[in-house]
Chains A and B, each alone.
Chain A
């Protein structure tokens, strides 16, 4: 498959290989069957380990997951026939495994919230509904360009909303809607602000790249080009810092730098971004006590808490260490010792590490890696700059989220508290990530389609935007 794809990836943006690509829908179907069977077997495994019997819900769970996968597959076949064949099976597998892990943790009475798996199944179904909705109604991702400034406003509102709701565990990132539950608007803002960045950068990218003054070896763009986006970005960071949602602010920052770099092709942005984020991280860590303690936990993961107890960080490390190479087997670990509510969300990887071992954890990380690289491949294949920026922004955001969560849980970096996409318990997260995958699939379908709709030529823009 890759040999066919390279033809288009290395080609220029405007040429299209004649005859198009194989749609690969049957490959996707075969992979989807695996993606459904593996969680079903995992489900049986948990039941056998915990009660010695095949759990009664296995058939309905298997049928349900199979049905969801089947419907998504048919929708992709009908509405995005040339979409990337790997992303949907990976998302399905991760979501399915996440459901099994959450159900497995539900069996530990000490862990809250109780009975999270049925709710998570409902949220997953909603997420898949949104996925289908995006594919059916968003015929072409370029339509999103029209909503550049609207999405900016929506993203800012979404980000600001949690300020009016009480914080949980030191972070104000939830809004509570009576009767529905709590939502994390940041997860949706992630996608919406990517749309804004992509739309804005697409228009301004040449100005940013070319109409700049050289200052101390760096190319600094003009204020009127960079100003608006910098302002929005700084505003969102301020909101996030105010809400002490550091994971998400890191995510926004990283995503912004990556997109700016891709749009302008100037390496100095990366350098700039790294310096700024390092300075920001040190400043926040030294001022904010919540963050300071997390940095302490990161530096000494096995140190005891001030009251002599074992910290969550240490408990997670114990879980990883005890898992070893092959793990204790699903249902036979003691991740309940981590306690609290984070076990099913932030720390769900600790359960993976303990019960599936290094082998299972590496497999999961590689699945994430594959999904991310398929997203970037989509960006490479996309023919229009907006599509490229959108795809790389979404994939980059996904990559940073995976890295920040997995790195935090394994004490590679300080813990910042985000959810593991698809795997962790949390409605907003699973819904938003299904939407993210849907948009990526839409971009890849457009990119791989044999007779593409005429795209606005980037060469035309290049001459039109630059003004003295």
Chain B
């Protein structure tokens, strides 16, 4: 019986060997994949087992961590003035995951980033608890506060950029939410989460309107159309365009006028057309240059492309369209759609003598002991030639000094701007969006360009105008930036 016994011995050995091979496969070959599987709760437990690094504005953290009990997770994210900063920070929630900066730079904030390996090793050797790194933002606290306070209870968004670098100075969106309310994973957090959700809350407080919502840019888009006109060489700032107002849209009987300003707008120069926001003039220029030219110019300002700040901003759209639609798109209507950030980029490029800088909001990533990554300003391209940019500035300054944007005047500072009242809804029956874009200028160039949009469904229709509702907010933001420079 010994021969089969030996074979049984071998068979049992093979069984044990199969188990050994299997555990090696699972615990060595597959280990990394399983260990970091998104359903493996250990990932989250580890993530919240030590305080998270902070998001920093002007040297001060706008986030924090607090110890919690009663769950697997030891630390919970807290936010200082969470409602105001939510469009910048996003959220880091134990139950609902992370978004925006919290998510994009999660590995730095948790301290798991490969670039922090050296730090981690030192901490391990010296027995110090694991520390997360910090995300240092480019934001300006006073500008953010001005933007957030200015929007107040209204629905809308503000984006402000430093035109010379592309650094984002303010990014506000209202109505907003406090990410602290949903940072944990308790019953209360869940209740808050449901209450903030799209299904229960038509105001969508968790929507980042500055980056993720596109609006018809309305008359503020006329700056782009003017740029295209100047670049074509067919139009000049103080030369009569020869365009009659009202303008009859091509292939249509519809006439585009400018509510009572037709006399001023008839055969106006570009400067005057901009000053009084003449629809006829700019629709005709857009029509004259054609869809292709218009798309080209819009894309030079950053349209039709997502922007990563690093938080993703959705693409603003200048559409490929037929002649009548293209004419309307030239005055920021029809299928023309822009984010507040996009319009701030347009303004910034004009203020920066035509050079468009890539917008960014993270200045650097800091490990516990050293800077891990430093963002360098990056050029996106020359949106318009420098001389034409100067002419655009000239026009926008006229708008503020003696046109529809007079509400944006700042004593002792050169301000250029453009109002916009974007019609929307079928047959124009919904309340329009009030837009205002502007920049301030000093001897050393422009420190701030800002775009404001207010969607106010409660105001009386005839009270809504870019100059009235949006311009004061833009002024406050510009003032805040200028003050903090002094």
Contact = CB atoms under 8 A, between A and B. Distances in A.
B1 A262 contact: yes
A304 B39 contact: yes
Interface string A158-174: 00000000000000000
A337 B39 contact: no
A238 interface: no
B45 to A, nearest CB: 6
B3 interface: yes
A399 interface: yes
A321 B12 contact: no
B153 interface: no
B27 A365 contact: no
B33 to A, nearest CB: 7
Interface stretch (A183-191, A225-233, A240-248, A406-414): A406-414
Q: Most chain-A CB neighbours within 10 Å: which of B19, B39, B45? A: B19
Interface stretch (A210-218, A286-294, A310-318, A435-443): A310-318
B16 A372 contact: yes
A317 B34 contact: yes
B8 A322 contact: no
Interface string B180-193: 00000000000000
A420 to B, nearest CB: 12
A85 interface: no
A21 to B, nearest CB: 18
A451 interface: no
Nearest to B15: A403
A358 interface: yes
Given A321-B26, A403-B18, A302 B37 contact: yes
Contacts of B33: 321
A273 to B, nearest CB: 12
Given A395-B12, A403-B15, A412-B22, A358 B27 contact: yes
Contact of A265 (B4, B30, B34, B35): B4
A448 interface: no
A322 B42 contact: yes
A385 B33 CA distance: 51
A362 B35 CA distance: 19
A286 B11 CA distance: 28
B16 A407 contact: no
Contact of B34 (A13, A318, A369): A318
B30 A321 contact: yes
B69 interface: no
B195 interface: no
Contacts of A373: 9, 12-13
Contact of A396 (B1, B6, B12, B31): B12
A388 B3 CA distance: 12
B124 interface: no
Nearest to A404: B15
A102 B35 CA distance: 24
Interface residues of B, number: 36
A407 B34 contact: no
A352 to B, nearest CB: 10
Given A265-B1, A385-B1, A392-B8, A324 B20 contact: no
Contacts of B23: 320, 353, 358, 361-362, 365, 406, 410
Interface in B26-64: 26-28, 30-35, 37, 39-42, 45
Contact of B5 (A262, A357, A410): A262
A365 B5 contact: no
A378 B22 CA distance: 28
A321 B6 contact: no
Interface string A377-389: 1011000010011
Given A302-B37, A334-B41, A358-B23, A376 B8 contact: yes
B16 A369 contact: yes
A63 to B, nearest CB: 33
B361 to A, nearest CB: 35
B24 interface: yes
Nearest to A405: B19
Contacts of B4: 261-262, 265
Given A9-B2, A388-B1, A392-B8, A321 B16 contact: no
A406 B19 contact: yes
A412 B19 contact: yes
A216 to B, nearest CB: 22
A262 B8 contact: yes
Contacts of B28: 324-325, 358
Q: Most chain-B CB neighbours within 10 Å: which of A353, A399, A411? A: A399
Given A320-B26, A358-B24, A410-B22, A369 B37 contact: no
Contacts of B12: 369, 372-373, 376, 395-396, 399
A399 B14 CA distance: 10
A239 interface: no
Interface string A314-338: 1001101111110000000010010
9 contacts: A9-B2, A262-B8, A265-B1, A302-B39, A314-B39, A321-B37, A358-B27, A358-B28, A396-B8
Given A322-B31, A380-B2, 6 more contacts: A321-B31, A324-B28, A324-B31, A324-B35, A373-B9, A412-B18
Interface of A: 9-10, 13, 258, 261-263, 265, 302, 304, 310, 314, 317-318, 320-325, 334, 337, 353, 357-358, 361-362, 365-366, 368-369, 372-373, 376-377, 379-380, 385, 388-389, 392, 395-396, 399-400, 402-403, 406-407, 410-412
Interface of B: 1-9, 11-13, 15-16, 18-20, 22-24, 26-28, 30-35, 37, 39-42, 45, 72
Which 10 pairs show the lowest CB-CB distances between chains A and B?
Answer: A321-B34, A369-B16, A358-B27, A318-B40, A399-B12, A412-B22, A403-B15, A376-B9, A262-B4, A321-B35
